[in-house]
Every structure is written in structure tokens, then in C-alpha cells.
Amino acid sequence: MSKIEFDKSQLVNLEASLNKELLRSNRAGSYASTTVVGCNTRKYHGLLVALQPQIDRGHHVMLSTLDVTLIQRNAEFNLAIHNYGENVFEPGGHKYIQGFSSDPIPKVTYRVGGAVLTKERIFVNKENRFLIRYKIEKANSPVKLRFRPLLAFRSVHSLSSKNDYVDTDYQAIHRKWD
């Protein structure tokens, strides 16, 4: 496989970067598809799109995206970007991207002030599961990450809206890292 790389100047230009898409698949029939800056622009985009034979034998977007906020010195920096139509893109996390590389595992590098964070995604070979690794490469002060998953559970052929009946309870796990 050829190595593909993009630098900051190519990635912050949405007119150019939204046309560059990333597609990863595994042997279970699952895939992940989005743009290199992580902005879903099509119905079939998602971080985990899996076959659902018990429903309709079609692909369903299980996890649309995972929004990550980097918190440093009580300041929050949202690394996500979403397309709300008519050239409205928020929250603009693409401006923190320093680079993208596809070899051997797709990796996005973010820089927020004195912090450098990398994100890598890989599929489990024969399961509807994938792994995301966030690694703080450098930080001038303590850094926290907040994750907000956007669970879609919809067919790739349709769109959905907010589900007011979903159980949003969670348990916080506090752990100090060495």
C-alpha cells in the first residue's frame, strides 16, 4: 500500500480536504468511512458501519462519530467538525490538525497550544469492532480528554434525528495515568 500524507495547509482548507475520504474495512463486513479531517459528509459515513442480518441484512451506521475535546488549563478545545449544510461547519476542530498519514495505520496529529495529540484507528479483523488510540505525544501542562460518542443505529440509506428515549446514563471512571 502506498503511503498517503497531507499537511496542515491541505487539511485546514475544507474545499480540498472534504473531498479526500478514508475507507477502512475488515473481514466481518464492517467499515469506517469519513473524510480525512473526520467530517461526515455522506449518509454512509461513520466510524463503525456494520451488517445487521437480524434486521434487514444491510449496513447500519452504529457509531457515527466520536467527538473529542482536549482540556488544558481549564480551556476546552473541541477537535470535532460537523457539516450542518450550506457551508456551515462547526465546531471547526480541523484547524488543530497538523497532519494525516495513512501508513501503516491511519493517523491524525493535532496540536493545541503546547499539546500534541495523535489519533489512530484500526479494525479488529473478523469482528464488528474497532479500536481508537489517542496518545498525548507532548504537553506543557496537564491534559484531559472528554469523549462524546454519537450513536446513530440507522440504515446507511436513511437519516435519523435525536432519540429522546435513549438511556444516556453512564459511570465515570477516574484513573490516574503514569
- Taken as a whole, the chain contains a residue count of 178
- Quote the pTM value: 0.85
More confident residue, 57 or 65: 65
- Mean predicted confidence (pLDDT) in 161-166: 74
Q: Tell me the Ramachandran region of residue 15: left when phi exceeds 0, alpha when psi lies from -120 to 50, beta otherwise.
A: alpha
What percentage of the chain reaches a pLDDT higher than 70?
Answer: 97
- Asked if the model's pLDDT at residue 35 lies above 90, the reply is yes
Give 164's pLDDT tier (boundaries 50, 70, 90). confident
- Asked if the model's pLDDT at residue 177 lies above 80, the reply is no
Give 178's pLDDT tier (boundaries 50, 70, 90). low
- Mean predicted confidence (pLDDT) in 72-82: 95
More confident residue, 123 or 107: 107
- Asked if the model's pLDDT at residue 145 lies above 90, the reply is yes
CA dist 113 and 119 (Å) reads 17
- Asked if the model's pLDDT at residue 163 lies above 90, the reply is no
Spatial CA neighbour of 134 closest among 151, 150, 122: 122
